[in-house]
Amino acid sequence: MARTVAVIGGGISGLAAAWELTRPGAEVHVTLLEGSDRVGGKLRLEDVGGARIDVGAESVLARRPEALTLFEELGVADRTTHPAAVGASIVSRGVRWPMPRGTVMGVPSDPESVRGLLDDDEVQRLIEEVVDGPRAGDLSVGDLVDARLGPAVTDRLVEPLLAGVYAGHAREISVEQAVPSLAAAARQGRRLSDVAREAVAAAASGPMAALPVFATLVGGLGSLPEVLHARLTEAGCEVRTGTVVRALEADGTGWLVSSGPTTAVRREHFDDVVLATPAAPTSRLLRHVAPAAAAALAAVEYASMAIITLALDGPVPPQLDGSGFLVPPTEPLTIKASTFSSSKWPWLARAHPDRTYLRASVGRHREEASLQRSDPELVEVALADLRTVLGDALADPAAAHVQRWGGGLPQYAVGHRTRLAPTRDLPPGLALCGAAYDGVGIPACIASGRAAARDVLTRVETARTPLG
Ligand SMILES: Cc1cc2nc3c(=O)[nH]c(=O)nc-3n(C[C@H](O)[C@H](O)[C@H](O)COP(=O)(O)OP(=O)(O)OC[C@H]3O[C@@H](n4cnc5c(N)ncnc54)[C@H](O)[C@@H]3O)c2cc1C
């Protein structure tokens, strides 16, 4: 009889794990248990003013192979599309400046590229980088950049770029985890500017140089989980939505998984379990079966945020003249970024030529107060901030949508990798994957889901091979 595997959590990590487990030749029966009413997690489409568009993640890094490979395997590669060649900007001292080219997470390879966005003293401080010898151990991205290049680089360049990925604070996020090339420079006592220059030159001449940096799918990235759901079902995977998993116990030969409403809990045996849930539920489920891993995961904090999507009547107005802008926390605005979706994504503009879509995000780690507003208030705040940056001529929206992402992004605090060591030492038959471990981006999540699935398959293979 085929071994049974439960994948708990149907975000992109769990879906990728289930997909890997149902590949031809993998003789396992897979059940995916998702607590909410649909799979996808942070990938989600909603109807806004007559169009189904992304209200969560919207693009993937195309210079890593995982997402594009998955598109190919699922037969949707022909829907792959890229952003328009329009620039983004950063707001600094109330003015929008073109996003400097050639930075490594905001660390400039050419100081002149940030003059204006930084004042002359700040640029001079950056030129005179202070290198105080090699440094052992992890530290925050912000502490490293403050000491080497001055706090203005952290505040006005690194913060907005890092916030775009983690919604966190540069002076708390692990440099080892978030920007390994800068961590290596710190260990080796090298100048950050030199490392940035080398990285930018390598990217410009390497095999990926001609490829676009980002990609999505025509129809929105939120359609990827829908495709995965359908293909998994065709491949024999049982996908159960609306199924919250409440407990996990060892039962001698595998695992007892309890799920469903507290009044009608269903208990089922599985030979192996992949946990693809965020850190807090994973910690609760591991409490009795892997207490050290559970304790490590309980300490991982998350940032909450909201995405406010606006639909304006008519074609793209002249103010929306790029892909969007980032806002450093030093600016007196509530929004931390805006994407001019119809300018950035040609597929969207073509599909809805009589509408203009844009979105704004609100919420950084430990700044939940900015989210303690009703949906109409969030729309009002976003619109007011957009008008501060873009001018009062920005029209009122014809439709608006607010998507809240409570616990949206894990925070990789200094020492994250070492602290999570117990999660890499689990009882046999258990595997973990997801954004909490080794990368919050979608390609990293796909990689982690597939690696967890391969752990399980290796164990299945070993169990089947006769001893001797
Ligand atoms: C607003 C936003 C925008 C983003 N934009 C991008 C982007 O453009 N590009 C990019 O690469 N990354 C982006 N990210 C990051 C990326 O989308 C996420 O890190 C990634 O999707 C996380 O996937 P996951 O499967 O690990 O977790 P999740 O998507 O959180 O999925 C976990 C799933 O587990 C389920 N679950 C939880 N508890 C239980 C339980 N007890 N039982 C059963 N099910 C349970 C949840 O309902 C959920 O569906 C963005 C993130 C956010 C929040």
pLDDT for 205 equals 83
Query: Quick one: which of 89, 86, 111 has its CA closest to 98?
Result: 89
Check: pTM over 0.95? Answer yes or no: yes
248 has a pLDDT exceeding 90: yes
* Ligand 1 atom 19: residue of nearest CA: 440
* Index of the ligand 1 atom closest to the CA of residue 443: 11
The per-residue pLDDT for 465 is 67
45-83+212-220+302-410 CATH fold: Polyamine Oxidase; Chain A, domain 2 (3.90.660)
User: 172 CA to middle of ligand 1, Å?
Assistant: 22
- pLDDT for residue 466: 58
State the Cα–Cα distance between residues 264 and 283, nearest whole angstrom.
23
Domain boundaries, the chain: 3-43+222-300+413-464, 45-83+212-220+302-410, 100-205
3-state SS, 97-124, equals: EECCCCEECCEECCHHHHECCECHHHHH
Q: What average pLDDT does the segment 161-179 reach? A: 95
Atom of ligand 1 nearest to the CA of 13: 25
Question: Measured from the CA of 410, which atom of ligand 1 is nearest?
Answer: 19
Q: Which of 31, 36, 42 to mutate to test the pocket of ligand 1 (most atoms within 8 A of CB)?
A: 42
Q: Tell which CATH architecture fits domain 3-43+222-300+413-464.
A: 3-Layer(bba) Sandwich (3.50)
Ligand 1 atom closest to the CA of 15, numbered from 1: 25
CA–centroid distance, 48 to ligand 1, in Å, is 21
DSSP string, 42-82: T--EEEETTEEEESS---EETTSSHHHHHHHHHT-GGGEE-
**pLDDT bracket for residue 464 (50, 70, 90):** low
Question: How far away, in angstroms, is 371 Cα from ligand 1 center?
Answer: 19
Task: Kindly state the average pLDDT of the residues 320-336.
Answer: 96
Average pLDDT over residues 255-279: 96
Q: Where are the beta strands (DSSP E) in 314-457?
A: 324-326, 335-339, 355-362, 399-410, 430-432
Total count of residues recorded for the chain: 468
Of the candidate ranges 263-277, 299-313, 405-419, 448-462, the one whose mean pLDDT is the lowest: 448-462
Is the model more confident about 458 or about 379? 379
pLDDT in the model for residue 45: 98
Pick the atom of ligand 1 nearest to 448's CA.
26
Mean pLDDT, rounded, for 228-241: 98
Q: How far apart are CA 392 and CA 458, in angstroms?
A: 60
Give nearest CA residue, ligand 1 atom 12: 441
Residue nearest (by alpha carbon) to ligand 1 atom 26: 434
pLDDT digits (tens, 9 = 90+) for 78-127: 999 999 999 999 999 999 999 998 899 999 999 999 999 999 999 999 99
pLDDT at 468: 47
CA atoms within 13 A on the CB side of 18: 34
pLDDT at 327: 97
Return the CATH architecture of domain 100-205.
Orthogonal Bundle (1.10)
The residue whose C-alpha atom lies closest to atom 51 belonging to ligand 1 is: 57
Q: Which atom of ligand 1 is nearest to the CA of 33?
A: 43
CA-259 nearest atom, ligand 1: 42
Q: Residue 344 above 70 pLDDT?
A: yes
Phi, psi of 103 (to 5 degrees): -115, 155
Average the pLDDT over 393-400 and give the result.
Answer: 96
Give the model's pLDDT for residue 251: 93
Q: What is the mean pLDDT of residues 16-45?
A: 95
- The dihedral formed by the CA atoms of 338, 344, 349 and 354, expressed in degrees to the nearest 10: 30
The answer to whether the beta carbons of residues 304 and 363 sit under 8 Å apart is: yes
Output the ligand 1 site: residues, CB below 6 A.
Answer: 8-14, 33-36, 41-43, 56-60, 244-245, 276-278, 281, 305, 307, 405, 408-409, 434-435, 440-442, 445
SS3 category, 417: helix
Atom of ligand 1 nearest to the CA of 409: 53
In this prediction, residue 239 carries a pLDDT of 98
Percent of residues, the chain, with pLDDT higher than 90: 90
User: Residue 319 carries which DSSP code?
Assistant: T
CA distance 220 to 232: 20
Distance 118 CA to ligand 1 centre (A): 35
Mean pLDDT of 126-135: 90
pLDDT at residue 209 tops 90 = no
Which atom, in ligand 1's list, is nearest to the CA of 245? 42
Of 19, 20, 31, 277, which is best to mutate to test ligand 1, by the most ligand atoms within 8 angstroms of its C-beta?
Answer: 277
Average pLDDT, the chain: 95
Determine the average pLDDT of the residues in 294-303.
98
CA of residue 55 to ligand 1 center, whole Å:
12
Is a pLDDT exceeding 90 seen at residue 175? Answer: yes
Whole-number Å distance, alpha carbon 258 to ligand 1 midpoint, is: 22
- Confidence at residue 125, expressed as pLDDT on a 0 to 100 scale: 96
Q: How far is the CA of 58 from the centre of ligand 1 (A)?
A: 12
Q: Distance, CA 334 to ligand 1 centroid (Å)?
A: 24
How far is the centre of ligand 1, averaged over its atoms, from the C-alpha of 125 (Å)? 39
Look at residue 203 in the predicted model and tell me its pLDDT: 83
* pLDDT higher than threshold 90 for residue 208: no
Nearest to 248 by CA among 234, 238, 260, 258: 258
- For residue 148 the two structure tokens come to 């080497």
